[in-house]
């Protein structure tokens, strides 16, 4: 006797629908200048490539990013700094195909908790300045403020050579959440989710020397969208849109070259490559 087929439930735009996207490939090259007091200057070049067959990959990348950063350490626990980045075709977090210029201020705290584990927190506030739109009527207004909070836990395992500069592994797990900051919603503003973007990332950093390290990593990155609701031809039954959780499995590789000017401590402990 055949089992009776259950009716397909009606589409509910108030329920978050999880959509897994094509895998992203994010190679990144970093150049760091370590300063004598433990501070550093950083230059980052990244290409973000979607493996979706319909993705527009110009020069081998869907999105291209260049960033500069400076960070100052008050002591071994606290630091602050600033970054500025330019993103071409910044599509993933913003749901928009325009270019962005993004200055940011950051505050960081790191401390050892137990068993040699280091626990870190990073709080950033940035302003997203839209440089252009690749289509008319893009979804992102100009001049948004965003807040970003990241927590991470890691441990360093020296393998050979000096403990502070020789071959070592650095396993690390981090979770970050980002949200659009606005004190008051205007009548014409689109609906938004409370959190717009999250990233759960696992990595294993490999330190070859005090001048060279690399970090392969994998992340589940999720964009939380509030899309327009579309209905059938009758205009009464919703068929798509509403709350969408777009999940982007991401594979990355960070390679960092560090310059140590004369007088700089070779045994300094650098930040993870996910600055």
Question: Rounded mean pLDDT of 103-129?
Answer: 94
User: In this predicted structure, what is the pLDDT of residue 142?
Assistant: 62
Name the least confident of 11-20, 139-148, 213-222: 139-148
15-20 average pLDDT score: 86
Highest mean pLDDT among 156-165, 171-180, 192-201, 231-240: 171-180
- What integer pLDDT is reported at residue 61 of this predicted model? 81
d(C-alpha 88, C-alpha 90), whole Å: 6
Q: For residue 230, what pLDDT is reported?
A: 77
Each residue's pLDDT tens digit, 210-244: 899 999 999 999 999 887 777 778 777 777 777 88
Does residue 1 register a pLDDT over 50?
Answer: no
The span from the CA of 203 to the CA of 35, in Å, is 26
Quick: pLDDT tens for 251-267: 999 999 999 876 666 66
pLDDT over 70 for what percent of the chain? 84
Radius of gyration over alpha carbons of the chain, in Å? 22
Would you say residue 160 has pLDDT above 50? Answer: yes
Task: Classify residue 189 by burial, with Cβ atoms within 10 Å: 0-12, 13-18, 19+.
Answer: exposed
Average pLDDT, the chain: 85
Judge whether residue 58 has pLDDT over 80. Answer: no
Q: How far, in Å, are 14, 180, 258 from residue 185 at the CA level?
A: 20, 11, 44
- Are the C-beta atoms of 69 and 41 separated by less than 8 Å? yes
For 84, the 3-state DSSP assignment is: strand
pLDDT average, residue stretch 125-148:
71
pLDDT interval class at 10 (50, 70, 90): low
Which pTM does this prediction carry? 0.86
Domains of the chain in sequence order: 17-259 (2.40.160)
Mean pLDDT over residues 129-147, rounded?
A: 66
pLDDT of residue 100: 87
- β-partners of residue 111 are 119
Judged against a pLDDT cut of 90, whether residue 186 lies above it is answered with: no
The single residue listed with the structure tokens 């020397």 is 209
């Amino acid at each position: 006797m055949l089992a009776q087929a259950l009716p397909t439930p009606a589409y509910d735009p108030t329920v978050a629908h999880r959509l897994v996207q094509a895998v992203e490939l994010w190679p990144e090259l970093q150049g760091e200048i370590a300063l004598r007091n433990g501070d550093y200057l950083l230059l980052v070049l990244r290409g973000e490539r979607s493996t979706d067959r319909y993705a527009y990959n110009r020069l081998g990348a869907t999105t291209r990013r260049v960033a500069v950063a400076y960070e100052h350490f008050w002591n071994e626990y606290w630091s602050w700094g600033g970054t500025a980045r330019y993103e071409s075709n910044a599509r993933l977090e913003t749901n928009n195909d325009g270019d962005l210029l993004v200055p940011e201020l950051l505050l960081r705290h790191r401390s050892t908790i137990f068993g040699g584990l280091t626990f870190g927190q990073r709080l950033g506030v940035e302003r997203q300045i839209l440089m252009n739109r690749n289509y008319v009527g893009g979804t992102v207004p100009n001049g948004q403020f965003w807040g970003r909070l990241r927590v991470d836990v890691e441990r360093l395992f020296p393998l050979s050579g000096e403990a502070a500069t020789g071959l070592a592994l650095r396993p690390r797990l981090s979770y970050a959440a980002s949200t659009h900051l606005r004190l008051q919603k205007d009548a014409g503003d689109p609906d938004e989710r409370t959190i717009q973007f999250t990233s759960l990332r696992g990595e294993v950093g490999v330190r070859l020397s005090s001048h060279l390290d690399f970090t392969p990593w994998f992340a589940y990155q999720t964009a939380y969208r509030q899309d327009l609701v579309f209905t059938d031809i009758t205009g009464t039954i919703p068929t798509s849109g509403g709350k969408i959780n777009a999940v982007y499995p991401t594979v990355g590789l960070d390679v960092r070259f560090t310059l140590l000017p004369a007088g700089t401590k070779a045994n300094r402990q650098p930040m993870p490559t996910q600055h």
